[in-house]
Structure 1
Amino acid sequence: MPPARKRARAYDPVKTRAAVLAQFAQVRDGVRGLDEERLARPSGLGDWSVRELAAHVTTALENVSRGLDLPEPAGRVVALLDWPFATAGRADDIAAGTRRLAADHPDLDALYARVGERFAERLAAAPDGRPLATLHRTAGSTAEDGAPNGAMTLADYLVTRTVELVVHTDDLNRAAGTDIPFDRQALATCTRLLADALAAKAPGASTEVRIPPYAVVQCVEGPRHTRGTPPNVVETDPLTWIRLATGRTDWRTALDEARVAASGERADLGPLLPLMG
């Protein structure tokens, strides 16, 4: 069942564009420094190697370029807060396309250069309101692998690219032992979109979820808090929140490791997570 619709917060398109470009550049620099030993390590995502994960990151931008190359779609519009819940069910297609992409492009830096240049060129000529197909398949996939899931404005779709880039930056850092930095705007945007998705999935005002310094949302049905200290509070840091929302870690583990503080009878978010498969 789709989550209850909730109006998305506004994101500055200029800042979002800059954040996507900055985070992609950070990842490219980090991947450039990986030797063959680290590229061959398991990524922690299914049976992908770090090399395959690094290749997959380029599809965050390439799918935008490919969408802009297509005619404006006439399909249903995917709202920004619907996107996190529309990404499930593509794992097999994405995995197959990613393996082909990595095999076809052994020179990862050349792949990053080509994808980045094409993206910057397409982006410069495209208005924020331009609709484009949301392609949840990799650059190595074929038409038979599945159709686009709908249409989004370019501005909204670029917000989702911060999620892809930030999540996979964290994946690379953990799997390859890198220390790729996070662009502050990209990390903030990713955190806020996933926090708002939680509020859309579990509408209400009985629980306050705090992810300083980027987001505070209220969610979960129950008595509405009006003043003073909320009776149900969850607090965590941005990366822990992103890992919880995307299934990289589970609620109980985060609690046991004191990476989440939760108080109140409605502060158990475990049944609501992850938000993205």
Structure 2
Amino acid sequence: MDAADIRYCYLGAARAFLDLVEHVPEAAWTRPALGEWDVRALTGHTSRALSTVETYLSTPASGDRLDGPVAYFLAIRGGVLPEAIAARGREAGEALGQDPAAAVRKLVDRVTELVAKTPDDAPVATAAGAMTLIDYLPTRSFELAVHGLDLARAIGLPPPDTLSPAIAASLELAGAIGARLPSAPDLLLLLTGRSGLPGNLSVV
């Protein structure tokens, strides 16, 4: 994908996430959503796909530079305990306050404006190492796509159409990551309906 497509995916995924959050019924914020998370915690965790862009752009980047989103995901793979991720999601959900939709709307507006005026090669100080903004954004679109689908399922809505480009890009990224793992043969068999997927679901 070129830089314009990467930015388009991220913007669409951010707006799709906001659309879903704005349709969460008031009584649904405590509804079970994903693992230990309720809808509020899942929303909080997903909002980090926006807030980390803001935070990492304002942090001096140092150390070895990661050469792209695949390298990023391989670097963080298994590096954070699930318990820590779960706790951080709950904390982020609580930080959204009494009106989570309003908080997410402000965050989306602020971060998408920041991304629009920031050069592709701006340094980003991620938890895995230094990257350029344009290399980091696909990792955030991936998070917004996957957890956007989680949120849509939790509140019983179809995913917004604006999420579709990020879903397509995330499938490509997932394949590129999977190809680098020892489990690559098993993943290919899984995706081609050989095992584990319901209803003979397959990409072919």
Question: What secondary structure sits across from 1:77 in the alignment?
Answer: coil
Shift of 1:208: 11
CA distance in 2, matches of 1:233, 1:178: 27
Aligned to 2:63: 75
Q: Is the 8 A contact 1:39 1:176 kept in 2?
A: no
After superposition, the Cα gap between the structure-2 partners of 1:203 and 1:53, relative to the gap in structure 1 and judged at 3 Å, is closer
Tell me the secondary structure at the aligned position of residue 43 of structure 1: strand
- In the TM superposition, residue 59 of structure 1 has moved relative to its aligned partner by 0.8
Does the aligned pair in 1 maintain the 2:190–2:196 contact within 8 Å? no
The residue correspondences of 1:170-209 to structure 2 (distance < 5 A) are 170-182=149-161, 183-202=163-182
Query: How much identity, in percent, do the aligned residues show?
Result: 29
- In the superposition, the TM-score normalised over structure 2's length comes to 0.85
Q: Aligned ranges for residues 12-31 of structure 1 at < 5 Å?
A: 12-31=2-21
How far the C-alpha of 1:78 sits from its partner, in A, is 2.2
Q: Which residue of 2 aligns with 1:224?
A: none
Higher RCO (CA < 8 A, seq sep 6+): 2
Counterpart residue number, 1:56: 45
RMSD over equivalenced CA pairs, Å: 2.7
Task: State the match for 1:100 in structure 2.
Answer: 91
Question: Counterparts of 2:54 and 2:9 in 1: how far apart (Å)?
Answer: 17
The one of 101, 117, 130 aligned to 1:125: 117
**Within 2, Cα distance between the matches of 1:261 and 1:83?**
26
Partner AA of 1:26 in structure 2:
A
In the alignment, the residues of structure 2 paired with residue 207 and residue 174 of structure 1 have an alpha-carbon distance, to the nearest angstrom, of 26
| Equivalent residues of 2:63, 2:129 under 8 A apart | yes
Paired letter, 2:201:
R
Residue ranges of structure 1 left out of the alignment (5+ in a row) = 1-10, 135-147, 210-231, 237-250, 263-277
Q: Check conservation: 2:18, 2:104, Cα contact below 8 A.
A: yes
Per the TM alignment, residue 50 of structure 1 is displaced from its structure 2 partner at its CA by 0.9
Shift of 1:119: 0.8
Change (3 A) 1:178 1:39: farther
Residue aligned with 1:24, SS? helix
- Equivalent positions of 1:1-277 (< 5 A) are 11-45=1-35, 47-71=36-60, 73-80=61-68, 81-85=70-74, 86-90=76-80, 91-104=82-95, 105-134=97-126, 148-182=127-161, 183-202=163-182, 235=192, 252-254=195-197, 256-260=198-202
Distance of aligned partners of 1:30 and 1:208 in 2 relative to their CA distance in 1, 3 Å threshold: closer
Flag structure 2 segments of 5+ consecutive residues without an equivalent. none
Is this contact kept in 1: 2:44–2:94, CA < 8 A? no
Cα 1:40–1:203 shift into 2, 3 Å: closer
Count of residue pairs brought into register by the alignment: 199
Contact 1:57/1:168, CA 8 A, preserved across alignment: yes
Report deviation, 1:233: 10
Instruction: Give the structure with the higher percent helix.
Output: 2
When the two structures are superposed, what TM-score results if normalisation uses the length of structure 1? 0.64
Q: Following the alignment from structure 1 to structure 2, what is the Cα–Cα distance between the partners of residues 110 and 233?
A: 40
Deviation at 1:152, TM superposition (A): 1.4
Q: Which runs of at least 4 in structure 1 moved beyond 4 Å after TM superposition?
A: 206-209
Contact 1:16 1:185 in 2 (8 A): no
The structure number with the bigger radius of gyration is 1
2: CA distance, partners of 1:207 / 1:48: 29
1:252, CA displacement in angstroms? 3.8
Distance 1:77 1:92, change over 3 A: farther
